[in-house]
Amino acid sequence: MRTLLATIIVIATLGLAGSSTAVAADSPSTTVHIGALLSLTGGGSTLGNTSKAALDVAVKKWNAQPAAKRGNTKLVLDVVNTDLQPDRAVSGLKALAKKGAHIVIGPQSSSEVAAIKDLAASLGVLVVSQGSTASSLALPDDNVFRFVPTDHVEGQAITDLMVKDGATRIVPMWRNDAGNQGLSDTVRSTGPTQGATVSDGYRYEPDTADFTTALAAVTQQVDDAIASVGADHVAVYLAGFEETAKVLAAAKATPALATVRWYGGDGSAQATALLDNPDGAAFAASVHGYPSPLVALPADRAAKDAALVKLISKQAKAPADAFTLAAYDALNVSAKALIAAGPKPDNTALQSAFTAAADGYQGVTGTIELDPAGDRTTSPYAFWSICASGSSGTANGPPKWVRTGLWQPATDPSAAATLSSDGCPLT
C-alpha cells in the first residue's frame, strides 16, 4: 500500500493554484489512486456522471502538467459505481481502501453515507459527500464531511416556495431513504409554522416499479384537500431520484392530480431522466413546472469559473450543478487538510485538519462554512422547473429545465430568507 505522503503530494497540487510538489523531477514515477463512490446508473445517475466528469477533468489537468511540476506522479481515479445501493457503497469503500485511497469523494446519497460511515472510520478513510443531506447524519467527530447543507435548509426553501405560491395544504410523497425522508420530515415540520397543513402523504420503497398504489393514496389526499381549500391552495411535494419521472408519467392519467401544483427535491432537479420520459416531462410542465431546489452558485463564482463549469458540463453531457462542483471543491480542501495533518495522521488529526482547511475556503461553490457536525451551514438555492418551450409566444415545444427562482438565506440567521420566483416563461 502506498504511503499517505505520496497521496498528500498528489492531492496537494490538484486544483491548488500556485502550489507545487517537493518531489524532484528525476525521482521514480509514482501512481497514486484516489477513490470515488458514485451512482453512474439507476437512481442518482445524473449527479453521479457529472461528478465523475468533474473529477476526470481534475485528473487530466494534473496529469497534463510537466513531470517536474507534478513530481513524476501520475494520478489515477478509481471510481466505483454504487448504483445508489448502500451495500455496493460498502464493498466499494473496502475496495478503494485496499487500493490505497485515503480520501473518497462521495457517496452522494444519505443512505449510502449511513452505511459506510463507521467503516470509513475503521479504515482511516475520510469521506467527503457532495450530495448527502440527511440531518440524521449530522454527527460530530466522525469521518464524514458534507459540502452541502442538510435537509433542514432545503426543506425550508421548498416550503417557503410552496407557501408563497398559495399552498395551505401540502401532500407529500417520498422515496424511503434517509435523505428524502429527512426532506419530507422538514416540510412536515416547517409547513405548519407558515400556516400550511401537511397530510400523511405516502412513502414508497426504492425498488417500486408500479406507482399505482402510491398515487391512489396521494389522489385521495389531494381530493380531500381540494374539497377543503380548493385546488389553487393544494401542493404535492414529491421527493425522490430519477424514478420520479415514472411517478410523474403515471400521475398524468389521473385528472385530479393535474389540477394542483407539484414540487420536487434536489434528487431529481435537472435530472435528464425526467426530460427523457415524454409523459413525465409533459405532466411536470403542466403542473407549474415541478420546481425543484438545487444549491446555487454565487454569481461572482459562476462568472469566474464559467470556463470550468462549461468544460465539465460538456464532458458530462449534462449541466454541472453546484452539487457536482462541491465534489471539485471537496478535493481541493482535502489536499490542504492532508498537508496540514502530516504523513500519518490519526482520525482525530485528519478531521481537525479538514475542518480548518474547509472553513472559509473560497471554492467554486463559494465560501465554505461548516457546522460542528462537519456539514455546510447554509447556501442559496435555485429553483429549477420543467418548462415547455416553443416559438411565437406559445408553449408547444419540448420541455426543458429552466431556472425559475432563487431562495437566498439572510446573513442574520434569525432573519427571513428572500425568495423570488417567476415561474415558467412562454417562449
Which residues of the chain fall below pLDDT 50?
1-25, 391-394, 427
Spatial distance between the Cα atoms of 319 and 108, rounded to a whole number of angstroms = 17
Spatial distance between the Cα atoms of 275 and 294, rounded to a whole number of angstroms = 17
Res 393: pLDDT: 38
- Please report, for the chain, the start and end positions of each structural domain, with discontinuous segments joined by +: 4-149+299-367, 152-296+380-421
Q: What is the CA radius of gyration of the chain?
A: 22
Res 396: pLDDT: 61
Q: Residues near 391 by Cβ (< 8 Å), separated by ≥ 6?
A: 397, 427
What is the pTM for the complete model shown?
A: 0.80
CATH code, 4-149+299-367: 3.40.50.2300
The closest alpha carbon to 184, from 266, 125, 128, belongs to: 266
Spatial distance between the Cα atoms of 342 and 5, rounded to a whole number of angstroms = 8
152, 202 in Cβ contact below 8 A? Answer: no
Res 76: pLDDT: 76
All cell numbers assigned to 4: 499517505
336, 13 in Cβ contact below 8 A? Answer: no
27, 40 in Cβ contact below 8 A? Answer: no
Res 28: pLDDT: 60
Phi-psi map region of 252: left, alpha, beta (phi>0 left; psi -120 to 50 alpha): alpha
Res 26: pLDDT: 54
All cell numbers assigned to 149: 447543507
254, 219 in Cβ contact below 8 A? Answer: yes
189 HSE (CA, 13 A, CB side):
12
Judge whether 4-149+299-367 and 152-296+380-421 match in fold: yes
Res 414: pLDDT: 75
Q: Is domain 152-296+380-421 in CATH 3.40.50.10860, yes or no? A: no
